[in-house]
Structure 1
């Protein structure tokens, strides 16, 4: 399973869209500052996720 997710920064309200096969772990990485694109706007909260069978479907939806 793959997920497309939207995170919102509690610091500045900006949103980030991504995809992953492990939503819980990815959210932890974002909030630990381990993801370059979002480390400047932590903490982040998950505001949306959608599940897909294949990586290709998730990538297409993310765009």
Structure 2
């Protein structure tokens, strides 16, 4: 499944897309990638809404 993770980092909100088995695993993957970020929400990917407001993919590179 694909999940959209909303987070806040250094006062700026952003979102990423994560491939995971469930929402908890998706949140943990995002937190591992950006430990200083505050996870605001995790939701299943919404094809229509995410097409209008695309998220970034969780990558192996640190931001």
Q: Normalising by the residue count of structure 2, what TM-score does the alignment of the two structures yield?
A: 0.55
- Bigger Rg over Cα: 1
Which consecutive residues of structure 2, in runs of 5 or more, have no partner in the other structure?
21-25, 55-63
Higher helix proportion (structure 1 or 2): 1
Structure with the larger RCO, 1 or 2 (CA within 8 Å, 6+ apart): 1
RMSD (CA atoms)? 2.4
- What is the count of residue pairs matched by the alignment? 46
Which consecutive residues of structure 1, in runs of 5 or more, have no partner in the other structure?
32-42
